Each structure stands twice: as C-alpha cells, then as structure tokens.
Amino acid sequence: MEQWKMSILTGAALLILAIIFAILRGGPSIWTALIVILAVIDIALGVYRKKVNK
C-alpha cells in the first residue's frame, strides 16, 4: 500500500480510538486531545504526500 494511504488510514484509526477512549473515560481528557492532534497531523501529512507525489 502506498505511504500516503497508510498515513491517512492510521490517522482515521487514531480518530476512532480517540472517540472510543473519550466514551470509555466519560469525557475528553488530555490523552484524547493528544490522540486527536496526532491523528490530524497524520492525515494532513498523508494528504500532503499525495499532492507531492502527483
């Protein structure tokens, strides 16, 4: 699988894990925020890599 696709899929998986983590903990926490930030960065890097490799 191409690197940019893996990056976007990893970011999406991190977002899903952050939502599950927030539900289990009963609300957002600093860890949830960190996971969301990492997911957004990972997705952004994936989109950037896709544009660069065109």
As for how many domains the chain has, the answer is 1
**Residue closest to 14 by CA, chosen among 23, 28, 34:** 34
Per-residue pLDDT tens over the stretch 1-44: 789 899 999 999 999 999 998 999 888 889 899 999 999 999 99
Residues 24, 6, 47, 40, Cα dihedral to 10°: 20
pTM summary value: 0.85
CA-to-CA dists, residue 3 to 11, 27, 29, 30, 38, angstroms: 12, 33, 30, 29, 17
pLDDT of residue 28: 82
Q: DSSP secondary structure string, 15-44?
A: HHHHHHHHHHHTS--HHHHHHHHHHHHHHH
